Structure 1
Amino acid sequence: MRKLFSALILAFLLPLSGAWAQDYSDGNGYTTIKNPVRTANPDKIEVVEIFWFGCPHCYALEPFTQAWKKNVAPDVEFSYMPAVFGRNWLAHAKAFHVASLLGIEEKVHTDLFNAIHQDGKRLNNEDDLAEFFTQYGVSEDEFRKQFNSFAVNSRLSQADAKIRGYGARGVPGIVVNGKYLVTAATAGGNNRIYSVVDFLIEKERQAK
Structure 2
Amino acid sequence: MRFLKKVLLAAALCGAAAGAFASPAEPKNGVEYETLATAQPTEAGKKIEVTEFFAYYCPHCNALEPQLAAWVKKQGDNIVFKRVHVSRDPSVAPQQRLFFTLQAMGLLDQLHAKVFHAMHVEHNRLNTDEAVFDFVARQGVDRQKFIDTYRSMGISGRIRHADSMMQGYNVTFWPMIAIDGRYITSPSQADQASQSAKNEEQLNAQALTVMDVLVAKAKAEKK
Amino acid at match of 1:19: P
The 5 Å alignment of 1:67-82 reads 67-82=70-85
Quick one: higher RCO (CA 8 Å, sep 6+), 1 or 2? 1
Question: Which residue of 174, 177, 181 maps to 1:178?
Answer: 181
Query: How far has the Cα of 1:13 moved from its partner?
Result: 10
Is the CA contact 1:83–1:89 (under 8 Å) kept in the aligned structure 2?
A: no
Q: TM-score, normalised by structure 1?
A: 0.88
What are structure 1's unaligned runs of at least 5 residues? 1-11
Q: TM-score, normalised by structure 2?
A: 0.82
2:148 counterpart SS class? helix
Amino acid at match of 2:114: D
Root mean square deviation of aligned Cα: 1.7
Question: Which residue of 181, 185, 202 maps to 2:216?
Answer: 202
Query: How far has the Cα of 1:173 moved from its partner?
Result: 0.4
Query: 1:4 corresponds to which residue?
Result: none
Determine the C-alpha separation between the residues in 1 that align with 2:167 and 2:43: 16
Determine the C-alpha separation between the residues in 1 that align with 2:151 and 2:109: 21
Amino acid at match of 1:182: T
Determine the C-alpha separation between the residues in 2 that align with 1:112 and 1:73: 24
Amino acid at match of 1:170: F
1:65-106 Cα deviation digits (max 9, x unpaired): 121122123131011110002222211111011111111101
Query: 1:192 corresponds to which residue?
Result: 206
Is the CA contact 2:178–2:185 (under 8 Å) kept in the aligned structure 1?
A: yes
Query: 2:29 corresponds to which residue?
Result: 26
Query: 1:131 corresponds to which residue?
Result: 134
Amino acid at match of 1:121: N
Is the CA contact 2:50–2:82 (under 8 Å) kept in the aligned structure 1?
A: yes
What are structure 2's unaligned runs of at least 5 residues? 1-17, 192-202
Percent identity of paired positions between Structure 1 and Structure 2: 27
Query: How far has the Cα of 1:40 moved from its partner?
Result: 1.8
Larger radius of gyration: 2
The 5 Å alignment of 1:57-136 reads 57-136=60-139
Is the CA contact 2:39–2:181 (under 8 Å) kept in the aligned structure 1?
A: yes
2:75 counterpart SS class? coil
